[in-house]
């Protein structure tokens, strides 16, 4: 079972049996970044450079995504920071070796990337799976971290009850029909119409996670299934100890639009859906309170009626939360 897919909707794309896109494709990546590669830890990793002057601010994507998912958000911070995005091994245009997907190797990739770039101190911003990377990196290299920003990822998924919550939430998660999944264009259009805040960053990220063929984009993910499964297990098994965070931390939590999901189910399924909502809310509240207790220098913001990709659906609000936090001494 692809457990993390339950809360990260783009992981659904990886399993869809699509055909190659053969239509006349005129889409252009309009983001202001420069695409670059760096060799670290035996692998070539793609990173995006949006420019800017000042301290390094690095974005890390969630499971199944690439740095392109931040194409709209990252440029908002170039006035005061040098803004970069790193795509981890196994995804996008980064190398996809058979090994090296444990949390310590992934963190070492990031550490060596900073070394290769000559970055002494950094602000890290992460989404979803990147939360475990942020936490472990800050634990191992506290002197290199100025601040941390968690975008709906300050969770420790190894906590009791997590599997039940994710399994039950899966029943509330809508998806495209088999007919919609028949080619790249119809699937992309489904997400445009059904995923809150869909923008150019989402499309760029989708394209950068697809394998290519002579006819255009293939429906198959460029990430091997074995890599995806290993990463999901790593997320569920890694314990996040927030007591080790000695730097200022901002954690933004989204409610995953549970009320909306419950309203969408049929009447017969409503009681079970309401139980799932209650269970999920209780689990998340426990996670938030645990984070507050452990992370002594933390600020917490909770966004209502917002899905997991809060920085896409509520970009302006997320920017307003992050900017003053980063400006604090």
- The pTM (predicted TM-score) of the whole model is 0.92
Which letter does DSSP use for residue 68 in this model? G
Q: Which residues contact 246 (CB under 8 A, 6 or more apart)?
A: 138, 142, 297
Q: Domain tally for the chain?
A: 1
Q: Render each residue's pLDDT in the chain as its tens digit; 329 residues.
A: 333 444 444 444 433 444 444 456 788 999 999 999 999 999 999 999 999 999 999 999 999 999 999 999 999 999 999 999 999 999 999 999 999 999 999 999 999 999 999 999 999 999 999 999 999 999 999 999 999 999 999 999 888 888 889 888 888 887 777 777 667 777 788 888 888 899 999 999 989 998 786 667 766 788 999 998 998 888 888 999 999 999 999 999 999 999 999 999 999 999 999 999 999 999 999 999 999 999 999 999 999 999 999 999 999 999 999 999 999 98
Question: CA–CA separation, 14 vs 1, rounded Å?
Answer: 13
- Residue 140 structural domain: 3-327
Q: What is the CATH number of the domain that holds 115?
A: 3.40.50.1820
Question: CA–CA separation, 158 vs 81, rounded Å?
Answer: 34
**SS3 helix, strand, coil % of the chain, rounded to 5?**
45, 20, 35
């Amino acid at each position: 079972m692809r457990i993390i897919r339950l809360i990260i909707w783009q992981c659904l794309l990886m399993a869809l049996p699509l055909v190659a896109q053969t239509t006349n494709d005129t889409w252009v990546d309009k983001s202001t970044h420069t695409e670059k590669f760096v060799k670290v830890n035996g692998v070539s990793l793609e990173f995006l450079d949006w420019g800017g002057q000042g301290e390094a601010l690095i974005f890390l994507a969630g499971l199944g995504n690439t740095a392109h998912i931040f194409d709209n958000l990252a440029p908002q911070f170039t006035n005061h920071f040098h803004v970069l995005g790193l795509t981890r091994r196994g995804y996008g245009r980064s190398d996809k070796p058979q090994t090296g997907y444990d949390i310590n190797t992934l963190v070492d990739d990031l550490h060596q990337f900073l070394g290769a770039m000559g970055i002494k101190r950094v602000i890290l911003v992460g989404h979803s799976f990147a939360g475990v990377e942020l936490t472990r990196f800050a634990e191992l290299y506290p002197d290199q971290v100025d601040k941390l920003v968690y975008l709906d990822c300050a969770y420790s998924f190894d906590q009791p009850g997590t599997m039940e919550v994710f399994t039950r939430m899966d029943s509330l998660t809508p998806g495209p029909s088999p007919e919609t999944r028949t080619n790249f264009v119809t699937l992309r259009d489904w997400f445009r119409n059904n995923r809150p805040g869909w923008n150019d960053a989402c499309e760029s990220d989708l394209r950068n996670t697809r394998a290519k063929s002579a006819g255009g984009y293939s429906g198959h993910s460029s990430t091997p299934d074995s890599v995806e499964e290993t990463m999901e297990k790593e997320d569920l098994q890694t314990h996040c100890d927030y007591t080790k965070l000695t730097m200022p931390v901002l954690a933004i939590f989204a409610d995953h639009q549970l009320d909306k999901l419950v309203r969408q189910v049929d009447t017969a399924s409503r009681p079970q859906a309401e139980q799932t909502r209650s269970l999920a809310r209780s689990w998340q509240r426990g996670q938030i309170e645990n984070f507050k207790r452990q992370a002594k220098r933390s600020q917490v913001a909770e966004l209502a009626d917002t899905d997991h990709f809060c920085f896409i659906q509520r970009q302006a609000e997320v920017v307003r939360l992050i900017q003053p936090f980063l400006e604090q001494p």
